[in-house]
Amino acid sequence: MAHSNPTPAELPTAVVVFDGGRPHLRERAEALLPDLKRYFAVTSVQDDLDEVFHPEGAQFAVTLGGDGTILRTARLMADQQLPVVGVNLGNLGFLAALQPEHLDRALPELAAGGHTLIDHLMFECELVNADGGATSRLGLNEVAVLAGPPFSMLEAQLYVDGDLVATYNCDGLIISTPVGSTAHNLAAGGPILRKDLQAFVIAPISPHTLTNRPVVDSADHVYEVVVPAPNEGTSLLVDGQVVAPLTPGDRVRVKRSRSVFQLVEVSGQSYYQTLRHKLGWGRRPRDPQDDGPC
């Protein structure tokens, strides 16, 4: 269905976000700006993802990069969450699913209001130290406690609403949102959750006991991880970024955030379509004869 070009007064407003510290990404992002300005009134361009967020009254945030750019943008927006249009200039792109070659079709549709907003669970991760100090991080993907050097197995205790659930002997423990279920959680053997579910998945990494399996539970609970005797290099990570090393007596507390991440979908995009494409679901096994001689 064709869309007429909107007048400047009708254009939706947007802040364009990309990591300008990466020269190849800056070059590609700046090349796309003229196309974006045909369908958005660009209020500002944020090319430093460590600066304070300046939406300048924008209705949308258009990210140019990969899923990592979206994760950093979600953290950057904090309690000023805007619906995100993710343009994929990276590799896999579960979140940044809009390919640059599809912008001529997708942007007129979006400017005409032909899009869907999908809400995604975000979390607050608080590291509470034994001395009472605390560090807090907002996240979209996952919390990970990793063993680190000297890479001996951890004993990690999981509590839900203050009740001890399990003690894992493992290389680490992941608490993931549905969005993050296709990231580290998936690589560790955890399940894929539909992205609009309000749930967390807890997945041990290489557990010593085979009955320690991933657990899915409601996002309405408070989850805590305690490592009584961490390794020298045991660390807490949020969305792939190191928050701090863990020391005895530290508690990692995870709960639902009041902030909600919103991702824009246009026609031709769907969750299962993305999974089929990115994970290769439904492809027929190759015929060995197609490979030719060894």
Enumerate the known binding-site residues: 67-68, 72, 141-142, 171, 179, 241
CA distance 214 to 167: 13
Closest CA to 166 of 237, 217, 126: 217
CB 142 within 8 A of CB 220: no
Q: Which residues are annotated as a binding site for NAD(+)?
A: 67-68, 72, 141-142, 171, 179, 241
Residue 100's region, left for phi above 0, alpha for psi from -120 to 50, else beta, is alpha
| Angle at CA of residue 284, ends 279 and 289, nearest 5° | 125
Query: 241 has which bridge partners?
Result: 238
187's CB contacts (< 8 A; 6+ apart) are none
| Catalytic annotation, pick one of 67, 196, 239, 250 | 67
Task: Please name the amino acid found at residue 99.
Answer: Q
Let me know if 67 is a catalytic residue: yes
What positions carry a catalytic annotation? 67
